[in-house]
Structure 1
Amino acid sequence: MLKTAYYGNPFLGLFFRANNSVALAPIDAQDKSVDAIERELGVKVVKTLIGGSNLLGIYTAMNSNGIIMPNIAEHGEVAALRKEGMNVFVSSELNNAHGNNLCVNDKGGIINPHVDSAHRKKMEDALGIELVPLSIAKHTTVGSACVASNKGFLAHYAANEDEMKAVGDALRVPGDKGTVNTGAGYVSSGLVHNDRGFVAGEASTGFELGKIESALGYLG
């Protein structure tokens, strides 16, 4: 495990997104952050923007099968990712902060219940998984309140037991509750991860790092 920040901001998950093959980073990402992600996650880092924005983690959702991008993405941005061999689906869904609205792995996923069923089906096809509409700790932006690997998931500390069971059933992995960056329940905001490891925001405590490591299945 490693810790870093994006120009002093420990909420890495707003700016970075990864799967088991590639990580997306803002064009202006500092070398220390890029090096940490490459080393810990074992992937190539691709620098890009989404609609000219550096909020890659907020706007994208991805697993090993595909990536969901909003229709604010420019043609060149989409083409650059396809050139990397990525299966890109550009969604016209009005709730376009896909990183906040979806939490996925290669086995399943959960989605903001406000995303309409037609768009949900297209996302399922792109990601190769079933997406189950859920809320976590009364938040419909489930992608902000949960992160998942193919070994486990970490959810907002206020998730109740029924929600935890539903999330586990949808993602088909066990999970736990926790925080990042000294108490933040929106756990995806403070992490960039894949099945090999994770990089956390530099404000995360040792206790939080241990909970992340255990919940996402890095302990064996």
Structure 2
Amino acid sequence: MNIQRFSVFGTDNIGVYIFTNDKYTIIPKNLDKGSKEIIQDNLKTELIETSIADSYLIGVFVAGNNHSILLPRIAKESEIKVIKEAAKDINVEIVDVRATALGNVILTNDRSALLYPEFSDAEANTIKKALGVEEVKKGTVAQVIVVGSVGVLTTKGGLVHIEAREDELKLLSSFFKTNLEVGTINFGSAFIRSGMIANSYGALVGTSTTGPEILRIQRAFSE
């Protein structure tokens, strides 16, 4: 996997601004040309430029996989239209659940989804259908309830919170049907999602991510 250090708006917290799957990367509208070229070269996707609820925190509000892109109920009609028109060949769905920071509360790949434990069973079922996954469950990672913020997954692998126990990691790997490793990002942050975006083709990490952290990421995402 090709891994490149990157920053957005002068910050290493690139994952809060960007969502990607294997086909599309949703980015803030005012990114410079050089940044857009780095994203495209690394992730090999089409770019969709928009905001969500008039915010550029796209990675916080959007969740999804290669089947679906899930948008929060607070997304504006104009924003939904931009994404739906650009991503015509996958499911784009507005999910009417209490939580709006979907990127923080849903950890998913194409097979399974781990959800914020405070979701109701009905909400969990809504998310399962919208994502098109085989299995969902509510739970935590390393006792953190905002599960989407402490992991990045693809079908090829995943990196989760450094304090996830060995038995927990084994269960999660089995649940997501892919190899998972523990690690950190941006010189020691356990909130993996805030500093990393990845798909099957490549990954971008915050510029303060160290060499040993990158080696761990490469191991996590090598099939």
TM-score by length of 1: 0.95
Opposite residue 196 of structure 1, the aligned amino acid is: Y
CA contact (8 A) 1:89 1:123 kept: no
Deviation at 1:201, TM superposition (A): 0.7
CA distance in 2 between partners of 1:67 and 1:176 (Å): 25
Aligned to 1:90: 94
CA contact (8 A) 2:16 2:57 kept: yes
CA distance in 2 between partners of 1:24 and 1:118 (Å): 28
CA distance in 2 between partners of 1:65 and 1:49 (Å): 21
CA offset digits 1:118-168 (Å, max 9, x no partner):
121111111111222110111011100111110111110011123212221
* C-alpha RMSD of matched pairs (Å): 1.1
CA offset digits 1:180-220 (Å, max 9, x no partner):
00000000111111011101111111111111111022xx5
Aligned to 2:40: 38
TM-score by length of 2: 0.94
SS in 2 for 1:23: strand
CA contact (8 A) 1:132 1:170 kept: no
The structure 1 residue matched to 2:207, chosen from 180, 189, 202, is 202
SS in 2 for 1:28: coil
CA distance in 2 between partners of 1:73 and 1:119 (Å): 18
Aligned to 1:23: 25
Unaligned runs of 5+ in 2: none
Q: Give the paired residue count.
A: 218
CA contact (8 A) 1:179 1:208 kept: yes
Unaligned runs of 5+ in 1: none
Aligned to 1:140: 145
CA offset digits 1:23-59 (Å, max 9, x no partner):
0001112223221110011001111100100000000
CA distance in 1 between partners of 2:15 and 2:108 (Å): 14
- Once the two structures are overlaid, the 10-residue window that deviates more, 190-199 or 27-36, is 27-36
Q: Does 1:100 align with 2:104?
A: yes
Deviation at 1:88, TM superposition (A): 1.5
User: Any residues of structure 2 matched to 1:44-63 within 5 Å, and which?
Assistant: 44-63=46-65
CA distance in 2 between partners of 1:212 and 1:62 (Å): 21
Aligned to 2:125: 121
Opposite residue 8 of structure 2, the aligned amino acid is: Y
Determine what percentage of the aligned residue pairs are the same residue. 28
